[in-house]
Structure 1
Amino acid sequence: MSSGFGLSAGARAALLNRLSKRGAALAAPEAPAEGPGRDLSTLPGMRDFETMREAGAALGIESPYFRPHDGVAGGRSSIGGRGVINFASYNYLGLNGDPRVAAAAKAAIDRHGVSASASRLASGERPLHGALEAALAAHHGAEACLALVSGHATNVTVIGHLLGPRDLILHDRLIHNSVAEGARLSGARRIAFAHNDWQAAEGELAAHRRRHGRALIVIEGHYSMDGDLPDLPRFAALARRHDALLMVDEAHSIGVLGATGRGIAEQCGADPGLVDIWMGTLSKTLSSCGGYIAGRQRLVDWLRHTAPGFVYSVGLAPPLAASALESLRILGAEPWRVAKLQANAALFLRLAREAGFDTGSSAGLGIVPIILGSSVAAARLAAAAFEAGVNVQPILFPVVPEGSARLRFFLSSEHSAEEIERTVAILAAARDGAAAQLAS
């Protein structure tokens, strides 16, 4: 597949020559005005970023990032006045744009205004906060919940606050950046284990657990890069064997996994009480913005009064709390949305595989990657798809290692079977057309 969208030897040599000249220019930056501290070319990752941007320009590939959507982005959207089938939104159940959710947000604005205007510990507490947290705790079968203004910041502040230099954090190799940043902030020893490999995690625990005070295992319920799932009961069992806490990031699980969208515990038929810390986001299925932690009352009370990202941050905006609460209510009342999403994802996965695409380890429950290998291949196929009316984002080096670049499809309950069939046909035609052109 990657060879079909690859470059000819001559084109590849020309591109490498151009990029090598660019790299030489970056290696010898202009003399900074006031010393090396003002030399922006030495910022972390700056050279890789500028080299990749230059590669896109050299290949004539327009950047697919930061394209503004004209309105609500769900299974369909409008970009630059042109309608597209949209696979680049986490609006899994079509609740962002639902008039009931919008009405709840507008009512909250009328009553409380747009902002909480202060930390909740000070004077930013509103009744909606408690109502949302109670509903989320019930959703996870937990004793209590705490909502924060950012999903990324939730992982950073909670992990950074929970662990210290004497402690140990084990996480999946493909864990989200927010977990890695939280681990770095904590100062704890951090060990990444092979993706979804509970036996590798147990081996690391057996080797290192006794040297550390507290241990935390962090996994995701649904991995956004590959669309696959962990064996939750296995991870829960090993956490108890080694006296470790288990934290599960459910950012892409709620509304996606399980018959009623309750997440990985429902999907696996596991007792949610096996997990010590549930983390989730409000910005995807729940059509809002923010993050939350659900777990034991004692933990949540402690975080509520001591976690820096909560204590020193403004409270969740009232319309965002209201929209998340209403979305959660609709999720519980309309499980057909979850069934439709899962059927759409299963159809996309089957058709993509039948067309000869590599979909990796996707479970086909909401996220399906098409792995192309080279970043050039992924960027070109995304561009061809967009030209044909399909919006999908390529994931390129250095976000993923070169050799595993991909297009990442987020399915929605709003997609129709015809749209999914048409999308796979567009992708296959673009791939085959490029291969034929290269062969000629």
Structure 2
Amino acid sequence: MSGGLSATARLALLARLSKRRSAEDAAPRPDAGSARDFSTLPGMRDYGMLQTALSSLDLPSPLFQRHDGLAGAHSRVGGRDVVNFASYNYLNLNGDPRVQAAAKAAIDRYGVSVSGARITAGERELHQELEAALAEWHGTEAALTFVSGHATNVTVIGHLMGPRDVVVHDAAIHNSCTEGVRLSGARRLPFAHNDMGAAEKEMAASRRGAQRALLLLEGHYSMDGDSPDLARAVAIARRHDAWLMVDEAHGLGVLGATGRGVAEAQGVDPTGVDLWMGTLSKTLSGSGGYIAARRDVIDWLRHTAPGSVYSVGLAPPLAAAALESLRILRAEPERVTRLQANGRRLRELLRARGFDTGFSQGSAIVPVIIGSSIRTARLANAMLARGVALQTVTFPAVPEQSARLRFFVCADHTEADLLRAAETLAEASAGLGAVEALPGLG
């Protein structure tokens, strides 16, 4: 199949899309026009158009690729060995024998589940040990874990803020954060990515009429692989009597000389941040999330946050795996050094071949901005066919002209792995030629 879309082919595709969409719209549905009509859901039409386009081009979806085993620097997808740049196993601790042994020992002692909300019957010593270790890691007084990283932001922000409050956040903030703000009813004011001058203007303009204010950032942005100016963010929050919350989901174990995150990387006192959020599913080899902060707010969240009070406690093997991973991270900072060297090297190799890596600082996340969703999907499939797995971000997750591939680097990738990734992408890109944007989505 040709890599590009000629003018004739593009018109033909547009005609097929229009015809198929018209036929689907015309097809009788028992719930058409009623509140039960799922086609009225936000984004459903655009999603359907994208699926129709992929089908019309005989282009397999690059999403939901099944890995057959442990996903580290290498993996197996569809029964084939691949170099893996699609997983968050940054320090290769998921699969470490010590981490596995800790998880198995926790199952032997506590079982697979704690079988209850912590506030009623689900509290275990493991929870307390993990939270104490996380609090120490971030330089705070206390921490609280939740069963999901996404749910952590939703429940904490949704519970912390209210309709009389304002949340000023980076436009590239994670979906879990915006969902939390939406739940809270607070006024939500995004500012241009990493533009702290714009952040201050939004905060100054909105603060006077708000009861409480929150400045919300990520320590390491997963879409772009860059970081905010943390010292300036602290200063803005203090000037405007606002809380500062930093989502370190991708920063723990990745940024700073020993992996303590953006504060260590930039030489900023971590106590300037009021709320540190993080996940257990990346560097820490488990699943779940946490908040680290002052003891009074953590105790309040423990007793009142819906995601804590009305949810089962963290599963023992996951808590044990995260705790052991944190212990290894503290004892073996050379893993962080290797990871950072690999991230910088891959970014260098990709840029040398003419690829746009955006704002990536080359720590663990290196995006390649492609633009067209069709071209991005084709490149992802071509890379996988050549034995390199990576992540794909296409419309409607991002605007059509900012679709991208994302390389997630880990400490155990070799120079040969990095070189293979860059050379394979160059080869696949050259083989596709020019590909235009999806008709009607640009």
Q: State the TM-score, normalizing by the size of structure 1.
A: 0.97
Tell me how far 1:138 sits from its aligned partner.
Answer: 0.4
Alignment of 1:42 onto 2:61: no
Whether the 8 Å contact between 1:146 and 1:304 is mirrored in structure 2 is: yes
Unaligned runs of 5+ in 1: none
Whether the 8 Å contact between 1:286 and 1:323 is mirrored in structure 2 is: yes
Segment drifting more, 39-48 vs 353-362: 39-48
Whether the 8 Å contact between 1:22 and 1:51 is mirrored in structure 2 is: no
Query: Cα distance 1:317–1:282, how it changes in 2: closer, same or farther (>3 A)?
Result: same
Q: Secondary structure at the match of 1:408?
A: strand
Q: Secondary structure at the match of 1:94?
A: coil
Alpha-carbon RMSD across the aligned residues, in angstroms, is 1.5
Query: Cα distance 1:404–1:35, how it changes in 2: closer, same or farther (>3 A)?
Result: closer
Alignment of 1:210 onto 2:212: no
CA offsets 1:59-91 (integer angstroms, 9 cap, x no match): 221112222211101111001210000111000
Alignment of 1:134 onto 2:132: yes
Q: 1:16 aligns with which of 14, 17, 21?
A: 14
Query: Could you tell me which residue of structure 1 aligns to residue 424 of structure 2?
Result: 426
Query: Could you tell me which residue of structure 1 aligns to residue 440 of structure 2?
Result: none
CA offsets 1:392-436 (integer angstroms, 9 cap, x no match): 122101111111111011000111111110111111011122229
Segment drifting more, 36-45 vs 175-184: 36-45
* Structure-1 separation of matches of 2:224 and 2:230: 17
Query: Cα distance 1:260–1:42, how it changes in 2: closer, same or farther (>3 A)?
Result: same
CA offsets 1:114-144 (integer angstroms, 9 cap, x no match): 0010000001000000000000000000010
Equivalent residues in 2 for 1:267-282 (5 A)?
Answer: 267-282=265-280
Alignment of 1:31 onto 2:53: no
Whether the 8 Å contact between 1:68 and 1:80 is mirrored in structure 2 is: yes
Tell me how far 1:33 sits from its aligned partner.
Answer: 5.2
Query: Could you tell me which residue of structure 2 aligns to residue 244 of structure 1?
Result: 242
* Structure-1 separation of matches of 2:4 and 2:264: 42
Tell me how far 1:37 sits from its aligned partner.
Answer: 2.8
CA offsets 1:320-357 (integer angstroms, 9 cap, x no match): 10000000000111111111111111010001000000
Q: 2:295 aligns with which of 294, 297, 307?
A: 297
Query: Could you tell me which residue of structure 1 aligns to residue 64 of structure 2?
Result: 66
Whether the 8 Å contact between 1:219 and 1:230 is mirrored in structure 2 is: yes
Query: Could you tell me which residue of structure 2 aligns to residue 180 of structure 1?
Result: 178
Equivalent residues in 2 for 1:395-406 (5 A)?
Answer: 395-406=393-404
1:275 alignment partner AA: V
Query: Could you tell me which residue of structure 2 aligns to residue 153 of structure 1?
Result: 151
Tell me how far 1:35 sits from its aligned partner.
Answer: 7.0
Query: Cα distance 1:191–1:113, how it changes in 2: closer, same or farther (>3 A)?
Result: same
Tell me how far 1:437 sits from its aligned partner.
Answer: 11
Whether the 8 Å contact between 1:221 and 1:248 is mirrored in structure 2 is: yes
Query: Cα distance 1:30–1:40, how it changes in 2: closer, same or farther (>3 A)?
Result: farther
Q: 2:221 aligns with which of 220, 223, 248?
A: 223
Tell me how far 1:8 sits from its aligned partner.
Answer: 1.3
1:344 alignment partner AA: N
| Identity within the alignment, % | 64
Alignment of 1:101 onto 2:99: yes
Tell me how far 1:166 sits from its aligned partner.
Answer: 0.5
Query: Could you tell me which residue of structure 1 aligns to residue 111 of structure 2?
Result: 113
Whether the 8 Å contact between 1:6 and 1:374 is mirrored in structure 2 is: no
Query: Could you tell me which residue of structure 2 aligns to residue 357 of structure 1?
Result: 355
Query: Could you tell me which residue of structure 1 aligns to residue 304 of structure 2?
Result: 306
Whether the 8 Å contact between 1:26 and 1:41 is mirrored in structure 2 is: no
* Structure-1 separation of matches of 2:143 and 2:435: 56
Whether the 8 Å contact between 2:3 and 2:431 is mirrored in structure 1 is: no
* Structure-1 separation of matches of 2:240 and 2:194: 18
Query: Could you tell me which residue of structure 1 aligns to residue 233 of structure 2?
Result: 235
2:128 alignment partner AA: G
* Structure-1 separation of matches of 2:273 and 2:218: 12
2:65 alignment partner AA: R
CA offsets 1:358-381 (integer angstroms, 9 cap, x no match): 000000000000101111111111
Q: 1:339 aligns with which of 337, 340, 348?
A: 337
* Structure-2 separation of matches of 1:233 and 1:423: 35
Q: State the TM-score, normalizing by the size of structure 2.
A: 0.96
CA offsets 1:247-267 (integer angstroms, 9 cap, x no match): 000000001000110000001
Whether the 8 Å contact between 1:5 and 1:431 is mirrored in structure 2 is: no
Segment drifting more, 351-360 vs 17-26: 17-26
Tell me how far 1:55 sits from its aligned partner.
Answer: 1.0
Aligned residue pairs, count: 435
* Structure-1 separation of matches of 2:269 and 2:366: 27
Tell me how far 1:30 sits from its aligned partner.
Answer: 2.2
Tell me how far 1:44 sits from its aligned partner.
Answer: 2.5
* Structure-2 separation of matches of 1:434 and 1:245: 48
CA offsets 1:255-295 (integer angstroms, 9 cap, x no match): 10001100000011100000000000000000000000001
Tell me how far 1:43 sits from its aligned partner.
Answer: 2.4
Alignment of 1:261 onto 2:259: yes
Q: Secondary structure at the match of 1:409?
A: strand
* Structure-1 separation of matches of 2:409 and 2:391: 13
1:422 alignment partner AA: R
* Structure-2 separation of matches of 1:139 and 1:436: 48
Query: Could you tell me which residue of structure 2 aligns to residue 88 of structure 1?
Result: 86
Tell me how far 1:112 sits from its aligned partner.
Answer: 0.3
Equivalent residues in 2 for 1:158-177 (5 A)?
Answer: 158-177=156-175
Q: Secondary structure at the match of 1:53?
A: helix
Whether the 8 Å contact between 2:375 and 2:435 is mirrored in structure 1 is: no
1:187 alignment partner AA: G
